[in-house]
Chains A and B, each alone.
Chain A
Amino acid sequence: MDLTYTPQQQAFRAEVRAWLAANVPAAPLEHFDATREGFEAHRQWEKTLKSGDWGMVTWPTEYGGRGLDLIQWLIFEEEYYRAGAPGRVNQNGIFLLGPTLIEFGTHEQKQRFLPKMASGEEIWAQAWSEPQAGSDLAGVRATCVQDGDDYVLNGHKIWSSRAVFADWAFGLFRTPGTERHKGLSLIFFPLDAPGVTVNAIKKINGHIGFAEIFLEDVRVPAFNRLGDEGQGWHICMATAGFERGLMLRSPARYQVAAAKLADLWTAHGNSADPALEADVVRAHMNADAYALNIYQTASRLIAGAKIGPEASTNKIFWSEMDIHLTQTALAILGPLAELTHDAPDAAPVDWIDDYIFALAGPIYAGSNEIQRNIIAERMLGLPR
């Protein structure tokens, strides 16, 4: 065990830091779920990132990446959050679909989709959930019927993040007559294809980050199917493991938040309940523990291990950590807690918005109840 960075890793950190210092926009961008302008400003940032070859550092170079390992990815993410760089508007593509495409896609599919994903030229939405199928994804009802070289898609998707402004979506579709997890296929469709209707759904913070999607006889080439017909469940489970286990939430995000919370305590602690210091310390401990866990996982994966059901513990940990951290900030702020960022007396960090966002954590990417079932059944071996 060696918990020090190699000279190469230190040099890489310096390179990332220097590039970000020269390129990160001075003023924060409007949120990509708030308005079309905010979304397009983020697309422009993705293009800038790509110009420095930082679009997706772990991907193979032939598909628009740098071919770096997971420790280097962690260093990149640490510097990215440290620099206060904009949120990744293409996160559904690069963190969710991208790794799945790399594992299950054909060379032609990778060539067609990955470089444009890494550059932000095509921004992806996920279209998994349906009105009757949330955490129980095997209950998906939307259908795909092969017709010559095409698929014809029909159905109703919901809670699709980014779909209002995005260019493409990936969803699960059922071959008619099949049941549960059998007969599902993972298929990509352009959100401006004939027969696609996207209706915005406002989130509790007022952003239009969700959408419902209606598909009526939408025709896409069979080329857009990832893996074999009927293999969609297997592929989605692999994706979900990655989502819960590693890439969805960088440790750096929470380490920045814990440092800001410590600053908030230093600035406002004398007017707050002294008992809150224990929560400020706890927030740092949680963020540090999460970082150590991810570093350990990255080391294991580099040494040849595979992500297993323990990935479900990550999702529980970061989602609960985020709520605790942001709630602690609100408690320190006291009566300032409810002010929105445009209020004259608002604190420099918009903690109320972070808190409201954190509340979604235990729900998306498979609810925490489902994660606990997975841990109990697949890690501990309890009966179904």
Chain B
Amino acid sequence: MDFTLNDEQLMFAETARTLFADSCTPDHWRKMMEAGVARDDARWAGIVETGLTLVLLPEAAGGIGLAETDFALIAQEAGYVALPEPLVESAGVAAPLLAALAPDHAILTDPTATIAIAHPANPFVANADSAAAILLEKDGETFLATPDQVTLTAQPSIDPFRRLFSVAWDAADATALGKGDWDLALDRAALFSAAQALGLAQRAVDLAVDYAKERQQFGKPIGSYQAVKHHLASAQTAIEFAKPVVAAAAAEIGAQDVQSRARVSHAKIVALEAADKAARASIQVHGAMGYSWEVDVHLFLKRTVALTQTWGTPAFHRARIAARMFDQPMGPDQTFARETKNG
């Protein structure tokens, strides 16, 4: 039993943190929002060059072959900067699904290509227009199509950096790839949504802390008032108790049993609740400024709303936890238990 991260894991997270801190700042967001775009080619080139898109990809498909624990740390850093590009969806969810079916596929050899995924759990597909290809599912079969082989209808999102589309398609126009593990894809997406949420939450708190130290009211920084402190302390507490759940979910996801699915669901629920709590606390601490377009907190709130309701709603995930509770033994010796057949 060792619940600590190793140096290699911390190194990749540090690499992502440094890259994003330099290339994904409020100035970058502002320029992209003004231009109405959701992809910065220079930043994406940096992400590709640093190897972040290869972390979860198996070695057989030209990847580094690391595990979900490693990628979750990168997803967390992506959340911290509200990363516009679909690093998590493409490299964390779609590429491993494609690689499992067709490790030699040409798209996997193009490091700049992104892959979108039309998962049955979601009605809309994020970043489908800029993707080199879209993974689709029909009757348990997996298909691959390029954006010009399908009909995309834009469904604008409140999050300025999420470009959503309805996808109409005909299996005759797409390439059939075989079965594919769409359940694992959902688990990965839910896990990495949770990991992003840890970053979203911490950034919302950090923005509020910075503001509360500077902003003066009644002759003192507002951060010296207990009411302000308590909003942020409560949000930080929620973050601290979501972190180990996300870490455990990442470590256990490969088991693909009722416990690992419940853990992923638990992680998604509590991490996004922490992000919601943090974003709302941050808006409150910023006062009317927090309700303005100018202050960046709204980006973190909007991404939180999006991720909360996508890749399985809270009700879907709560049902998976209930299944673990009522189908498997509970109690203090069951924290790390694996599936047992009843009866």
Contact = CB atoms under 8 A, between A and B. Distances in A.
Contact of B213 (A4, A9, A371, A383): A383
Contacts of A298: 3
A-side interface mostly: helix
Given A262-B330, A285-B266, A384-B224, A376 B230 contact: yes
B335 A289 contact: no
Interface string A361-383: 00000000101110111011111
Given A77-B332, A285-B270, A379-B236, A299 B326 contact: no
A277 interface: yes
B245 interface: yes
Interface stretch (A78-86, A124-132, A196-204): A78-86
A313 B1 contact: no
Contact of A251 (B1, B234, B330, B332): B332
A295 B3 contact: yes
Contacts of B66: none
A372 B213 contact: no
Contacts of B209: 380-382
Interface stretch (A58-66, A135-143, A206-214, A252-260): A252-260
B326 A262 contact: yes
Interface in B280-336: 318, 321-322, 325-326, 330-336
B332 A382 contact: no
A273 interface: no
B-side interface mostly: helix
B266 A299 contact: no
A289 B245 contact: yes
Contact of B266 (A288, A296, A376): A288
Nearest to A1: B251
Contacts of B331: 82, 255-256, 259
Given A2-B1, A299-B3, A372-B233, 18 more contacts: A1-B3, A3-B1, A82-B331, A281-B321, A285-B266, A285-B321, A295-B335, A298-B3, A316-B233, A316-B237, A369-B226, A373-B226, A373-B229, A376-B229, A376-B230, A376-B233, A380-B233, A382-B232
Interface of B: 1-6, 9, 69, 205, 209, 212-213, 220-221, 223-224, 226, 228-230, 232-234, 236-237, 240-245, 247-248, 251-252, 266, 269-270, 318, 321-322, 325-326, 330-336
Can you list the 4 inter-chain pairs with the closest CB atoms, starting with the nearest?
Answer: A376-B229, A252-B332, A372-B233, A299-B3
